[in-house]
Amino acid sequence: MTTNRKWEEFALLLIDVQNDFWSKEVAEAFPDFPRNTARLLNLCRAEGIDVLHVRARFKPDRSDWMARYKLLDSIPCISGTPGPEVLPEARELPGEAVIYKQSYDSFCNPEVETWLRDRRKRYVLVAGLVTAVCVLLTGAAAAQRGFLVAVVEDCCADQPKSHGLVFDRYPNVMERVKVDQISTRLPAWKKQLADLAAVGVHA
């Protein structure tokens, strides 16, 4: 993808839009999530916003499982099962990067930050599954690494109470935006980046 220069400092991290995280309960609570995710990807591709797909994937032998899951003897997204398969609306196109993680926070895989830094990204849009776990922890990690962050709230899903709590509790960590607002929010976001540069703070 050739990035539109007006969006050259922006990227979308689309997280864990996979079968094991798309439970019946979450699907019933957020029926528009797949359609909204497709709309988000279409927007990014049309506008030239670079997309990084981040997905969970674990080995059957438990060698890369997080400690608590080893005790539970169960973990989502085990290779060779249907769990890691991606919802059709979230499949990558040729040329779009996919990075796999074995953690809640996507930045635990250093390839994520390297991908962003190599492309000189300073503003990160975050979306995917589930809101109060991997989306929140990835967005918070991005903020702590100096990126500005906005969560695309209608392209996230979770248990409804958990979903709402993220947006109520963490406004200083991540801005919230909806798909239809992204293009119109660009001037304000560019000003934020300019204001950071003016005071010598570089993401």
Domains detected in the chain: 5-50+86-96+103-198 (3.40.50.850)
CA-based nearest residue to 134, from 108, 116, 111, 115: 108
Provide the β-strand partners of residue 78. 58
Q: What share of the chain is helix, strand, coil (3-state, %, to 5)?
A: 45, 20, 35
**Which pLDDT score is estimated for 2?**
55
Q: What is the mean pLDDT of residues 84-104?
A: 98
Q: What is the reported pLDDT for 201?
A: 56
Mean pLDDT of 107-115: 98
Confidence bin at 161 (pLDDT 50/70/90): confident
- pLDDT, position 200: 74
- In this structure, the dihedral spanned by the alpha carbons of residues 114, 117, 123 and 124, taken in order and rounded to 10 degrees, is -10
Looking at this protein, which amino acid is placed at residue 191? Answer: K
Q: Which two tokens stand for residue 106?
A: 């996507």
pTM score of the predicted model? 0.94
Considering only residues 30 and 200, tell me which one the structure prediction assigns the higher pLDDT. 30
Residue 69, C-beta contacts closer than 8 angstroms, at least 6 positions apart: 62, 75
Average pLDDT over residues 151-176: 92
Model pLDDT, residue 53: 98
